Amino acid sequence: MNAIDRREVDEAISAADDAIYYLEKARKSLSSAGSWGLLDIFGGNTVSGLFKHMKLGSAESDIEAARRSLRKFSKELRDVNGMDSVEIGGFLTFADFFFDGFIADILVQSKIGKAQRQCDDALRQVRQIRGQLVAMA
């Protein structure tokens, strides 16, 4: 592997590390929001509702950071020979539906659960691709 190819692989690995960090952070925020949401559904009060919405705000920020890091990772992958056909899945668009007009607390919980599963899927994909990149290095 020549120096340019090595640099591209290293940049892709670094972008994968960033994506993993932000995906894990988003997953943690979603989990926290989900916990507060359950409390809100099963006997919560104004305080639990307030905390749930604060946690949802944090989750939204973390999801957007994860999306930005995945875009960068995708861009870096295109620079690596042999990795241009890799697809990182639909995570880049999942947040588009996530915060679109909550109607009821149960619907919120459903969306949080779906977002958590998508986060988990994206983490698995990024980790797998990162492993391939490390093997190339």
CB 113 within 8 A of CB 120: no
Which residues touch 113 (CB under 8 Å, ≥6 apart)?
34
Give pLDDT tens digits along the chain (137 positions): 788 889 999 999 999 999 999 999 988 988 888 887 777 777 777 777 778 778 888 888 888 898 899 889 988 888 887 776 556 656 555 554 454 444 345 567 787 888 888 888 889 999 999 999 999 88
**pTM (2 decimals)?**
0.71
